[in-house]
Amino acid sequence: MRRLTRTIDAVETNDGDGVKIRRIGGRQLSHVIDPFLMLDEINSDDAQDYVGGFPEHPHRGFETITYMKAGRMRHRDHMGNEGVIEAGDVQWMTAGKGVIHSEMPEQDRGLLHGFQLWLNLPSAEKMQPAAYQDFRSADIPELNIDGGANLRAIAGALDVGDRRLTGPLPERSTRPTLLDVEIRSQARLELRFSPDHEVLVYVYRGSTDSLQVTQLGLYSSGDVLELNAGVSGGSMLVLSGCSIGEPIVQYGPFVMNTTAQIEQAVEDYQRNQLV
């Protein structure tokens, strides 16, 4: 069994044009949650918390996975990609050598609830060409388990009973797994991952027997992750991946391995040579 080794509380902050978010990440946590860099959650029905969105901005050196639970967001980038994702949809963007994009709410009222996960790239892959793709909710395999749990496999593959769930997102060298899991009141769920892969659990509604809402749990190595929902049930993102174990230097939207590479990214952006 994997054991809970650390609990991290999400921090309320602002990003973009004043968007209120809950964030887990930053320089002090990058090596702890490797290969992931950051997890942001937007969850508000007050338009003033999100209407400013995320106007045009650059990235280099990592990937983003955006997953919507409610509301609508529009993506535009320098490659000409444009699309709207809504409840249950996913977008996967590889910043690689460089991307300039915007993410703006396609609404000015109602609930907007979604997540963005930053996934690091190994040094050998950081300067690959940028890429973008999105997936509709119907593309996400889902499994309802008798006894009280529902799973959506956004990325990665795992065996649940006699069924194998494989998410639609492409396989990467970091072998990321991203699951959206709902466990009903006081029900139990067991999940199996590669024993040497990191496993993180972020609770976004309800609780487990060891994690409260907006808390991230880090787990030890092992074969089996056991999740027990609290009295009101629990909804959570379950993340797993292969640690990269390389130096991480981050400056805002750029994530590289050395300070010199960050300085080069800033210079490239200032000279319009990032993309």
Distance, in Å, from the CA atom of 185 to the CA atom of 122, rounded to the nearest integer, reads: 40
> What distance in Å separates the CA atoms of residue 65 and residue 91, rounded to the nearest whole number?
6
What's the rounded Cα separation, in Å, for the pair 152 and 141?
6
How much is the pLDDT for 158? 87
Contacts of 156 (CB under 8 A, 6+ apart): 166, 167, 169, 175, 176, 177, 178, 179, 240
Looking at domain 4-270, which CATH architecture does it have? Sandwich (2.60)
> Per-residue confidence of the chain (275 residues) as pLDDT tens digits?
999 999 999 999 999 999 999 999 988 899 999 999 999 999 999 999 999 999 999 999 999 999 999 999 999 999 999 999 999 999 999 999 999 999 999 999 999 999 999 999 999 999 999 999 999 999 999 999 987 999 999 999 988 878 889 999 888 999 999 999 999 999 999 999 989 899 999 999 999 999 999 999 999 999 899 999 999 999 999 999 999 999 999 999 999 999 999 999 999 999 999 99
Check: pTM over 0.75? Answer yes or no: yes
Exposure string for 157-171, b = 16+ CB within 10 A, e = fewer: ebebeeeebebebee
How confident is the model at residue 151, as a pLDDT? 96
Tokens of 101: 């994009």
* β-bridge partners, 181: 151, 236
Q: Report the DSSP beta bridge partners of residue 155.
A: 178
The confidence score (pLDDT) of residue 161 equals 76
Taking a C-beta distance cutoff of 8 angstroms, is the pair 111, 71 a contact?
yes
Which residue matches tokens 């006894």? 147
pLDDT at 33: 97
What Å distances lie between residue 48 and 73, 246, 261, CA to CA? 15, 39, 37
Q: Are the C-beta atoms of residues 241 and 199 closer than 8 Å to each other?
A: no
What does the domain layout of the chain look like in residue ranges?
A: 4-270
Q: pLDDT value at position 131?
A: 96
- Residues 164, 177: Cα–Cα separation, whole Å: 13
Residue 216 belongs to what H/E stretch? Answer: strand 215-219
- Rounded CA separation 11/209 (Å): 22
CB 275 within 8 A of CB 264: no
